[in-house]
Structure 1
């Protein structure tokens, strides 16, 4: 799964991917796998449960990273609209490190645009994928809705898109 870039550090609840408590990624995963949006929430400390997330993702074979290694934030917020990519992530190198990877999931428009430009593939509709080839490896590029609360879709509807993709890719 590839997002664009983390929010400013002051918004982090944990030192991990999707660290902002206002982001719904871990609530989406809680709904999809445990029918509990707060499964990965450490309510007492107002943060996500990083050890639980790391163990869970490792067991499921889900890798996370960003499509950019360096950015300029043109405003003091997490919006991709005001995000200037200074250095793109070496996606080819990531795929070399993950030889069994057969699907890339983007979690928003900026990440999708970055991957589409890199692989020269058509844009999938939200919740769908397009096939492409990487060095003889058949791949899928999924375009998922953003987990940001700024994205105008109810949590349960976002989770339904992710559930469909995860059922296909992880046999859940």
Structure 2
């Protein structure tokens, strides 16, 4: 008889600067053996922090530890706090249907309490989802969900009497077939709209 698949909990808490105007929402990190730091998007081959480096500093290696195949979690957190960018997963508990980090094989067991998170972010006006699965989960949490946006598309949404923009951004996983420069361009457009660059 096959073993029951393990229900995993998201290993990293949300980072919620109280003055954040933007919240970035992803899904679930890879298993611990792939972590190059203890923070969101910990896998060194994931391009998230290279994208941030390019968008804000024109340097893909800005958040990398010098001489290491790792990102600097404390430097990243300090930057997010300083710029007012929250980072929060859409998924708190999940089962990996296959033993990898692919969202395609991720079965969601428990989602984030979005109204409770947004209550801690009174200035937040812009939410971005970092890929298709994150967008799908996020839409499932909205009472009057719009249809699934295309990658790069921004839609208006309302929750708890507040108006937000919801933008679907490309996944920064290397499995997503888009160049680093094109991913960075999509994120730059989002942060320009949010007036952070």
Same-fold status (TM-score > 0.5): yes
Matching of residues 21-170 of structure 1 within 5 Å: 21-119=44-142, 120-170=145-195
**Rounded Cα–Cα distance in structure 2 between residues aligned with 1:46 and 1:153:** 22
1:114, CA displacement in angstroms?
0.7
SS of 1:71's partner is strand
Q: How far 1:45 moved relative to its partner?
A: 2.7
Deviation at 1:43, TM superposition (A): 3.6
**Distance (Å, rounded) in 2 between the aligned partners of 1:93 and 1:106:** 18
- In the superposition, the TM-score normalised over structure 2's length comes to 0.85
Task: Give, in whole Å, the separation in 2 of the partners of 1:171 and 1:57.
Answer: 11
SS at match of 1:47: coil
Which range moves more in the overlay, 119-128 or 26-35? 119-128
Question: Size of the alignment, in residue pairs?
Answer: 172
| TM-score after normalising by structure 1 | 0.97
Q: 1:102-153 CA distances to partner (integer Å, 9 max, x unpaired)?
A: 1111001111001112212222221121001112211111100000000000
The whole-number CA distance in structure 1 between the counterparts of 2:147 and 2:66 is 41
Root-mean-square deviation over aligned CA pairs: 1.0
